[in-house]
Amino acid sequence: MQRESIIGLSIALLVVVLTLWLGHAGTPKHENEAPAPKALFDAFYGTPTLDGKSDDAVWQDAPWLPLDQLWIGQPPSADDYQGRYKIAWDENNLYVLAEITDDTLIDIHPNGLEKYWDDDCLEIFVDADASGGNHQYNFNAFAYHIALDGKVVDVSTDSSFQYFNDHCETRRLTRGHVSTWEVAVRIFDGNDYVPGGNNVPLLLKAGKEMGFALAYCDNDHSPERENFMGNVFVPGADKNRGWIDAGIFGLLTLK
């Protein structure tokens, strides 16, 4: 084969390869193929007095963060719902201060283990080792639903709904339509957690990283919650995945 023919064939082959590569690069990926960038949060050291107020020094120094990502429902009006929060920590607890504007507070299910997600409640998601992954029927991560009466519910390993009241201590003060939730969350290693066992919470220290998300279930006397507002962007059509997939949590670093 002549040298000119070899060069021509090589050029033609290169053009084909480049065309195929550029065509692939220009094709949009399926929305679930590449995860969204993980939200990053910092929690600063301090021990607030758990009284449902926000006047402790640690809260004065911590920035407000938005609780404004729509996970279920339609975007609410400012009169119906507004949310923001702060986070802090000490050796014994992760602390969450949430300020929620909600024009109607309801708890229409007398049984706290029945459809608790359809009542007004604060939900705190914690993945102690930031490993991500499935936690639907295991303790790879916890999804604490905190009711208006302070009771705490999550799904256990046998798929039943169980109380985890000793995991979270809550004080809530409501003035008009504004509720201030102050929560102390004990952090457990889910890999070693035994339901009903003698589980010892972790001792926290600076530099630790955890998966973290926060949400609020809002209902105004409907059969089901009308809005579910979170603090992290969840890609795809199904945004109600936090109770199953710890991969949607943000990454929290203790400073």
Regarding whether 57 and 109 lie in a shared domain, the answer is yes
Regarding whether 22 and 139 lie in a shared domain, the answer is no
Regarding whether 205 and 103 lie in a shared domain, the answer is yes
pTM of the model: 0.86
Q: What percent of the chain has pLDDT over 90?
A: 83
Mean pLDDT of 10-21: 43
Residue type, 242: G
Regarding whether 184 and 120 lie in a shared domain, the answer is yes
Residue 22 in this model has a pLDDT that exceeds 60: no
CA proximity to 71, closest of 210, 213, 192, 223: 213
pLDDT for residue 35: 58
**Overall domain count for the chain:** 2
Name residues whose C-beta falls within 8 Å of residue 219's C-beta, 6 or more positions apart in sequence.
Answer: 104, 106, 108, 118, 119, 120, 225, 226
C-alpha–C-alpha distance, residues 63 and 117, integer Å? 28
Q: What percent of the chain has pLDDT over 70?
A: 86
Q: What is the mean pLDDT of the chain?
A: 89
Regarding whether 92 and 19 lie in a shared domain, the answer is no
The whole domain housing 16 covers: 1-30
18 vs 141: which has the higher pLDDT:
141
Regarding whether 120 and 2 lie in a shared domain, the answer is no
Phi, psi of 246, rounded to the nearest 5 degrees? -70, -5
Regarding whether 127 and 80 lie in a shared domain, the answer is yes
pLDDT for residue 37: 79
C-alpha–C-alpha distance, residues 39 and 231, integer Å? 9
Q: What confidence tens digit (pLDDT) does each residue in 177-199 have?
A: 999 999 999 999 999 999 999 99
Regarding whether 50 and 14 lie in a shared domain, the answer is no
Regarding whether 194 and 78 lie in a shared domain, the answer is yes
CA proximity to 214, closest of 190, 255, 249: 249
CATH for 228: 2.60.40.1190
| Contact (CB, 8 A) for 45 and 254 | yes
Regarding whether 228 and 137 lie in a shared domain, the answer is yes
Regarding whether 204 and 223 lie in a shared domain, the answer is yes
Please tell me the total number of residues recorded for the chain in this structure: 255
Regarding whether 124 and 84 lie in a shared domain, the answer is yes
**DSSP per position, 73-118:** ESPPPTTTEEEEEEEEE-SS-EEEEEEEEES------SSTTSSGGG
